[in-house]
Amino acid sequence: MASPGQSTLFNTFTELVATTFRNHKPEISDNVSNHNALYRYMIKSGRKRTEDGGLSITMPLEYAENGTVQRYSGYDPLNVQAADVISAAEFPWRQMAGNLAASGIEIRSNQGENRIINLAKSKLKNLQRSLANTLSTDFYSDGTTSNQMNGLQALIADAGTGTVGGINSSTFSFWANTVQSAASPLQGGAGITPSATTIESLMLPLWLRVTRGADMPTFIVASEDYFTFFEQSQTSLKRYAPDDDGAGGMVALRYKNAPVFHDASASGIPSAHMYFVNVNYLEYVVHADADLEIMPELRSINQDAVVIPVINQANLAVSNRKLQGVLKA
């Protein structure tokens, strides 16, 4: 059993960690924002939503055809059949956790105000960086790793099809996202090798497919190789997005009305990809009680150590896949 003095030391360390974490919690989001264009743009656009309950995340659909709509004249009978229209997609909560652990000898060796503060800050910095890196890569994931949230590779899939949010796009074709494949272009004809001279010939057909009047991609994010092709294609007429357009210090070009960002492979974006995203139908949903929240300390009965968990419960959700597009090799 720990002595009263040791208990006091452990309590002091825990209180320092909790206070420091809460004071610096925004830095985790900032770290993700500084290294992930997708996350940064979504946060800047107000596309983070907090839920306080529910077994899953429900997203009312923004696109579904109702077969009872008809044209009629005079006394023609109206179609009163129940419409078989899916009204919502459901996304499971996904959980992530990281632990800040300190052994008794570490805590006792760092007695004294300055040393114990430095120990707490050092361990917190490492945990914050690890949480930020994991969250960043998850935003581009395909969601196949255990308990991993849906990233762009799941919501805006290379195949365009699949079951997303509990809806199978093979059954409901409106739920398939739009795909532009360089090997088999939307516009028909032979395959096109992506390059500085061909990249826009691949981008335009995709842009047209995911645009409905004023409803169009709000931003484009590309891997390093495809962003390089696009920048090289703009040599004589480069247009950079304004500072208040969600770039937040990141360099962004512009295509039509959308800023074009690049993300490095370390952020999780796959090479040879460019995503045309309508962020109006995309949300990062987090649980109010598990939004990178620090939990009460845990002490083992057979270890001289303290563990302080930080948890996150969230997922990336979409309400209209048809207006999301991916350009791939």
What is the tens place of the pLDDT at every residue in 206-265? 999 999 999 999 999 999 999 999 999 987 666 665 545 544 455 689 999 999 999 999
Per-residue confidence (pLDDT) for residue 65, from 0 to 100: 62
The answer to whether the beta carbons of residues 171 and 159 sit under 8 Å apart is no
Per-residue confidence (pLDDT) for residue 4, from 0 to 100: 43
Establish how many alpha carbons lie within 13 A of residue 164's alpha carbon, considering only the half-sphere containing its beta carbon.
Answer: 34
Among 122-131, 199-208, 230-239, 260-269, the least confident range:
230-239
Report in angstroms the alpha-carbon separations of 64 from 147, 277, 284.
29, 19, 22
Look at 135 and 6; give whichever has higher pLDDT: 135
Look at 2 and 172; give whichever has higher pLDDT: 172
Report in angstroms the alpha-carbon separations of 126 from 9, 25, 299, 304.
21, 13, 21, 21
Confidence (pTM): 0.87
Domains of the chain: 4-63+87-328 (3.90.1690)
What is the tens place of the pLDDT at every residue in 86-109? 689 999 999 999 999 999 999 999
The answer to whether the beta carbons of residues 310 and 51 sit under 8 Å apart is no
Residue the block writes with tokens 């272009």: 185
What is the tens place of the pLDDT at every residue in 149-184? 999 999 999 999 999 999 999 999 999 999 999 999
- Provide mean pLDDT across the span 287-297: 95
